Amino acid sequence: MKKVMVLLLTCMVLLTACSSGSKDKDQTASGGEGDSKTKEITIWAWDPKFNIAALNIAKEAYNAKHPDVKVNIVEFAQADIIQKLNTGLNSGTTKGLPNAVLIEDYRAQGFLQAYPDSFADLTGKIKPEDFADYKIGTTSYDGKQYGVPFDTGVAGLYIRKDYIEQAGYKLDDLKDMDWKQYIELGKKIKEKTGKDIISLDPNDLGILRMMIQSAGSWYLKSDGKTPDLKDNAALKEAFTLYKELMESNIVKVNADWSQFIASINNGDVATVPTGNWITPSVKAEASQSGKWAILPMPKLPATPNSVHATNLGGSSWYVMNIPGSDTAAEFLAETFGSNADMYQTLLTKVGAIGTLKAAAEGEAYTKPDDFFGGQQTVSDFSKWTAEIPKVNYGTSTYAIEDILVVEMQNFLNGKSLDQVLSDAQSQAEAQIK
Amino acid sequence: MLKTERQGASIRAKNAFTGWSFILIAVLMIAAFYFYPMIQALILSFKTGRGINLSYTGWSNYERLLTDKTFFTALKNTFIYLIVQVPIMIILALFISVLLNDSNLKFRGFFRTAIFLPCVTSLVAYSVVFKYLFGTSGLINTMLMKLSIIGAPIEWITDPFWAKITIIIAITWRWTGYNMIFYLSALQNIDSSIYEAARIDGASSVKQFFKITIPMLKPIILFTSITSTIGTLQLFDEVLNITKGGPGNSTLSISQYIYNLSFKYTADFGYAATVSYSIVIIIIVLSLIQFRVAGDRK
């Protein structure tokens, strides 16, 4: 028995020695080579139709001027990227991490704060004022600019013209709608066509996020740390509207993304209020061409500063502080950070609406889209992008949302709204320390 | 006299050295990949912070655990799976294995393979298939509607109660065959003369099952119930892939909560390690109870 213990202890000592040894080696390696420029960089992103396609266009544009730089583009699912980044950055070894990576805006602050010095400071390499205002808060930290703002999550109300006409409405009647009127519209559509107005996943409160951001409000106060749930007027209103929506029997419940997309393409729902990145999925059903239009988002009826513009999702590029960071930063600054012409190609080929202000003045931005009945969808979205209220997403969007999802179920089951939000507040305070 | 004694000692030492060198590699590997991470995780569970900004905060994570509603929801869900699913699965596996052990049964090999097959399928693949089978307009609902068993589709995935049922059905499908194999091999070790004697004494099949088969299988039943308990406490893939823990955490398992704390939210590895250690403690306690209740005291 004693021998076993001795053996175990020896192993332990050996292992500890090994692990600290390798850590030192890594640090000297990155310190030594940090300044020299590596001519090969690797970039991680998700979504082949959108982000990867955009990266390929950027790579082409960059290689035209710098043929000596090799850009590797690797596609992972977003959840995998987050997992790989977390494990990589936590283990203390930077081996296997990419030079640049796409991070969703909701998660950006979490990464920047949880792993200080792991991301390269891009201050001076890109000009924050060149981009939409609301993106800067999420991509900068402690006065430094870390991210190159990329796609806008600007939201719009995708709507089936044929259904609303059957329900006795005209498109123009609905341009200045609030969520109350939206629910009324839903009831009318259900009555006349039997279709639901919206498809919702009870695990995803994206619609709530859009509602409160339209009033410049978020789950957290503007410091990005203090939970703001209990006395948040916009959130209260959003909860009430969500419940009303659910109880009006006009919601088609879905359990995941593919069911959500199916409900759109099958013609099961009359509207899709969501981010502009849904466009390729809506257009995927070619037989519905001409039946869709995109309206400004409804606003909150009782919260005075709510506007018809809001955001859902959206992401930006970040450079990892490892050898090759200079090349990666240069690549991003020259492409997504400043190349307005490239954004024209992005728009025509991928349909990706960026947040670089200068890019909004090209021909591609005013091109009518036949699928949406000749509507100038991109220029509409750009207009709304400029109106999105700026909020601080902070570090804990998804942690708080998981608390809210549970409390929302309680609220739907009859618990009082004040109790629901005050319980959520105390849970969030315990969670975020 | 002295010389031979010394010789004997050196042979013993040599033997001991040979013995130790044989197991040394295994011991090193186990120490490196089991014990070292376990101890590191224990140390980690006393640290708090986001990402790499960790600092020692003593018992604060354990204090947080005791007031964490989400953790208790996950714990409750996991115990519901445990209490409902493990007995169902054990009884089902026992029943099937006795049927399949009957030498008069035709196509025994086929049935055995068919029932064992689910547990070699990929966890993710079968979870995804189950998700679509049990979708609102999925195959199960369509069939039940066609057979007029139900009037309206059951919200298998999006209703808190039915989502739990779906998970239970899924894990029962996946793991029953696994337990059945243990019972089958154990049944083959029971001497057929015992059954013969029982038959001559006039014992019915049911009586034989309860008075001979079950007592003879007791150690295996204990073994399968402990492994199933541990397996259920570590339930992850099914929940993540079928329901994502929803709706409203109603199917959340402890393992998925650990995953959420580490990777879905801003990484909080210290607290995640604390939650992991809660599983360790629960497994130890439950295993001890099971040994006490079912095991032979030695």
Top pLDDT among B229 and B298 is at B229
Q: Of all helices (H) and strands (E), which one includes residue A88? A: helix A78-91
Whether B28 contacts chain A with CB within 8 A: yes
**CB-based contacts of A60: which residues, under 8 Å, 6+ apart?**
none
Measured between CA atoms, how close is A109 to chain B, in angstroms?
9
Looking at beta carbons, which residues of chain A come within 8 Å of B248?
Answer: 202-203, 405-406, 408-410
Looking at beta carbons, which residues of chain A come within 8 Å of B162?
Answer: none
Cα–Cα distance, A309 to A296 (Å, whole number) = 7
> Does the distance separating the beta carbons of A79 and B70 come in below 8 Å?
no
Q: Please state whether the peptide bond connecting residue A128 to the residue before it is cis, i.e. omega within 30 degrees of 0.
A: no
Top pLDDT among A15 and A67 is at A67
Top pLDDT among B150 and A264 is at A264
Strand (E) positions, chain B?
47-48, 55-56
Q: Residues B241, B122: contact at Cβ < 8 Å?
A: no
What DSSP state is assigned to residue A176? T
Q: What is the pLDDT of residue B205?
A: 86
Give exposure, B209-224, as e/b (b: 16+ Cβ within 10 Å).
eeebbeebbeebbbbb
Whether B266 contacts chain A with CB within 8 A: yes
Whether A203 contacts chain B with CB within 8 A: yes
Q: Residues B172, B89: contact at Cβ < 8 Å?
A: yes
What is the chain B residue with the closest CA to A412? B248
Whether B251 contacts chain A with CB within 8 A: no
Cα–Cα distance, A133 to A282 (Å, whole number) = 28
Does residue A182 have a pLDDT over 90?
A: yes
Q: Residues A263, A254: contact at Cβ < 8 Å?
A: yes
Cα–Cα distance, A173 to B125 (Å, whole number) = 47
* pLDDT tens digit sequence for B50-60: 888 888 988 98
Whether B129 contacts chain A with CB within 8 A: no
Looking at beta carbons, which residues of chain B come within 8 Å of A433?
Answer: 48
Which of A206, A255, A406, A420 is closest to B249 using CA atoms?
A: A406
Residue from the list A114, A399, A409 with its beta carbon closest to the beta carbon of B53: A114
What is the chain B residue with the closest CA to A395? B266
> Does the distance separating the beta carbons of A90 and B51 come in below 8 Å?
yes
What is the chain A residue with the closest CA to B66? A430
Whether B243 contacts chain A with CB within 8 A: yes
Does residue A36 have a pLDDT over 60?
A: no
Q: What is the pLDDT of residue B107?
A: 87
> Does the distance separating the beta carbons of B28 and A11 come in below 8 Å?
yes
**CB-based contacts of A178: which residues, under 8 Å, 6+ apart?**
A298, A299, A300, A301, A306
Does residue B15 have a pLDDT over 90?
A: no
Top pLDDT among A38 and A312 is at A312
Which of A34, A33, A38 is closest to A68 using CA atoms?
A: A38
Interface of B with A in 208-237 (CB under 8 A): none
B297, burial (CB in 10 Å: exposed 0-12, middle 13-18, buried 19+): exposed
- For the segment A157-173, the average pLDDT, to the nearest whole number, is 92
- For the segment B229-244, the average pLDDT, to the nearest whole number, is 90
Q: What is the pLDDT of residue B109?
A: 85
What DSSP state is assigned to residue A131? B
Q: What is the pLDDT of residue A28?
A: 35
Whole-Å CA distances, B47 to A430, B35, B266: 16, 19, 15
Three-state secondary structure call for residue A70? strand
* pLDDT tens digit sequence for B223-235: 898 899 888 988 9
- For the segment A37-63, the average pLDDT, to the nearest whole number, is 88
What DSSP state is assigned to residue B156? T
Q: What is the pLDDT of residue A8?
A: 53
Which region among A15-19, A129-133, B66-70, B196-200 has the lowest average model confidence (pLDDT)? A15-19
- For the segment A235-263, the average pLDDT, to the nearest whole number, is 92
Mutual angle of helices B69-101 and A397-412, in 10-degree steps: 80
Q: Residues A165, A224: contact at Cβ < 8 Å?
A: no
Does residue A20 have a pLDDT over 50?
A: no
Helix, strand, coil shares of chain A, percent, nearest 5, are 50, 15, 30
Between the two ends of chain B, the Cα-to-Cα distance in Å is 41
Q: Residues A58, A41: contact at Cβ < 8 Å?
A: no
Whether B155 contacts chain A with CB within 8 A: yes
- Tally Cβ neighbours within 10 Å of residue B242: 26
What DSSP state is assigned to residue A35? S
For residue A145 the two structure tokens come to: 């600019």
The residue type found at A390 is: K
Three-class HEC string of A180-231: HHHHHHHHHHHHHHCCECEEECCCCCHHHHHHHHCCCCCCECCCCCCECCCC
Q: Of all helices (H) and strands (E), which one includes residue A18? A: helix A2-33
Cα–Cα distance, A10 to A18 (Å, whole number) = 12
Q: What is the pLDDT of residue A31?
A: 37
Long-range contacts made by residues A418-424, C-beta under 8 angstroms, separation at least 24?
A: A420/A239, A421/A229, A421/A230, A421/A231, A421/A232, A421/A235, A421/A236, A421/A239, A422/A230, A424/A229, A424/A230, A424/A400
Position A335 confidence tier, pLDDT thresholds 50, 70, 90? very high
- For the segment A239-249, the average pLDDT, to the nearest whole number, is 94
Q: Of all helices (H) and strands (E), which one includes residue A280? A: helix A279-283
Q: Residues A294, A380: contact at Cβ < 8 Å?
A: yes
Three-state secondary structure call for residue B268? coil
Cα–Cα distance, A181 to A307 (Å, whole number) = 15
Q: What is the pLDDT of residue A17?
A: 46
**What is the pLDDT of chain B when averaged over all its residues?**
88
- If phi > 0 it is left, if psi is from -120 to 50 it is alpha, else beta; for residue B235 that is beta
Does residue B185 have a pLDDT over 70?
A: yes
**What is the pLDDT of chain A when averaged over all its residues?**
87
Q: Of all helices (H) and strands (E), which one includes residue A147? A: strand A147-149
Calculate what percentage of chain A has a pLDDT beyond 90. 57
Position B297 confidence tier, pLDDT thresholds 50, 70, 90? low
What is the chain B residue with the closest CA to A111? B266
Cα–Cα distance, A282 to B106 (Å, whole number) = 54
Residue from the list A111, A202, A406 with its beta carbon closest to the beta carbon of B158: A202
Whether B245 contacts chain A with CB within 8 A: yes
Q: Residues A105, A209: contact at Cβ < 8 Å?
A: no
Whether A395 contacts chain B with CB within 8 A: yes
Compute the Cα dihedral for B26, B32, B35, B37 and give only its sign.
negative
- If phi > 0 it is left, if psi is from -120 to 50 it is alpha, else beta; for residue A394 that is left
Q: Of all helices (H) and strands (E), which one includes residue B254? A: helix B254-259
Measured between CA atoms, how close is A206 to chain B, in angstroms?
14
- For the segment A250-275, the average pLDDT, to the nearest whole number, is 91
Does residue B298 have a pLDDT over 50?
A: no
Whether A259 contacts chain B with CB within 8 A: yes
Q: What is the pLDDT of residue A38?
A: 60
Does residue A213 have a pLDDT over 60?
A: yes
Residue from the list B52, B131, B247 with its beta carbon closest to the beta carbon of A89: B52
Cα–Cα distance, A263 to A251 (Å, whole number) = 11
Between A and B, how many residue pairs show a Cβ–Cβ distance under 8 A?
118
> Does the distance separating the beta carbons of A256 and B131 come in below 8 Å?
yes
* pLDDT tens digit sequence for A287-318: 999 999 999 999 999 998 999 999 998 899 99
Q: What is the pLDDT of residue A103?
A: 94
Residue from the list B27, B135, B246 with its beta carbon closest to the beta carbon of A203: B246
Position A348 confidence tier, pLDDT thresholds 50, 70, 90? confident
Whether B269 contacts chain A with CB within 8 A: yes
Calculate what percentage of chain B has a pLDDT beyond 70. 97
> Does the distance separating the beta carbons of B248 and A405 come in below 8 Å?
yes
Q: ∠A146-A133-A328 over CA atoms, to 5°?
A: 25
Whether A3 contacts chain B with CB within 8 A: yes
